[in-house]
Amino acid sequence: MKIGDVMVKDVVSVDHKTPVIEACKIMGEKKIGCVLVTKDGKPYGIFTERDLLSKVLLEGNLNEEIGKYCSAPLIVVTPDYDIVESARIMADMKIKRLVILNEETEEVEGIFTAADLARVIAEYGVKELESE
Amino acid sequence: MAEELKCGICGKELRAKDEGKTWRRCSICKKPTCFEHLHYIGVWRRGMYKNYVEVVPVCEKCMPKKRRKPVE
């Protein structure tokens, strides 16, 4: 099973000038751990719970623009990676989210997180994922 | 003649059909490498609109050494 088959396609994105507090409200309402940050309509970075804790709450201001605190550049993968390998990538790189980018259009196709990995394992089982 | 597939690090025999499941080619030296000896690094890609970091597989031999801070 490929990462492109199970990734979350409706990625929530905000402009880099959006205040952090507004992005936090969106994350709370939609029960998500990150939002994609765009600049001039193109993907620029990602703002995660970790950014909120380690950057904004420690040394920032919730009313400042999100572009100042988001993680950039984006770390991306192509959608043809296997689910099991995507887990290896997250473990090896010590990251919890993979942004899936279409290399031709440079558009973000989706996002695959450690929580999505847990969902897929719960749905299909580890053995089934390994045997595919 | 078909290429003999062996892990470039440990010499373990690999099957062509298992590429992406149990092994991949190192993106630097291009040698087949089993998952036990494969790591992932981010490399800069220059896009048309934006530069980004793409995850690529590398073998243990090609894995860049971490830069240490100079000791004063």
pLDDT, tens digit, for every residue of A101-121? 987 887 899 999 999 999 999
How far away is chain B from the Cα of A59, in angstroms, using its nearest Cα? 24
Number of C-beta neighbours around residue A1 at 10 A: 14
CA-angle at A15, arms to A14 and A18, nearest 5°: 85
pLDDT in tens, A3-45: 989 999 999 999 999 999 999 999 999 999 999 999 988 888 9
Asked if B53 lies within 8 A of A75 by C-beta distance, the reply is yes
pLDDT of residue B53 exceeding 70, the answer is yes
Contact status, residue B7 vs residue B37, Cβ threshold 8 Å: yes
Helix (H, G, I), strand (E, B) or coil at A14: strand
List Cα–Cα distances, A4 to A34, A121, B55, in angstroms. Answer: 19, 15, 15
pLDDT(A54) > 60: yes
Q: Identify the band that residue B3 occupies on the pLDDT scale cut at 50, 70 and 90.
A: low
Q: In this complex, do B20 and A92 lie within 8 Å of one another by their Cβ atoms? A: no
Instruction: Please give the helix or strand (H or E) that residue A126 lies within, else none.
Output: helix A126-131
Q: Which residues contact B57 (CB under 8 A, 6 or more apart)?
A: B24, B25, B26, B27, B33, B38, B39, B40
Region of residue A34 (left: phi > 0; alpha: psi -120 to 50; beta: else): beta
Query: Which pLDDT belongs to residue A42?
Result: 85
* Rounded percentage of chain B residues whose pLDDT exceeds 70: 88
CB environment A104-120: b (16+ within 10 A), e (fewer): eebebbbbbbbebbeeb
Give the best residue of A76, A83, A95, A132 to mutate against chain B (max B CB count within 10 A): A76
Residue B24 CB coordination number (10 Å): 23
Would you state the pLDDT for residue A7?
Answer: 92
- Smallest Cβ–Cβ distance between A74 and the set B24, B39, B53 belongs to B53
Residue among B35, B47, B55 whose CB faces A106 most closely: B47
Question: Going from the N-terminus, what domains does chain A have, and what CATH number goes with each?
Answer: 3-131 (3.10.580.10)
Which residues from chain A sit within 8 angstroms of residue B54, using beta carbons? 75-78, 101
pLDDT tier for residue A125 given thresholds of 50, 70 and 90: confident
Over residues A77-86, the pLDDT tens digits come to: 999 898 989 9
Quote the ipTM score: 0.75
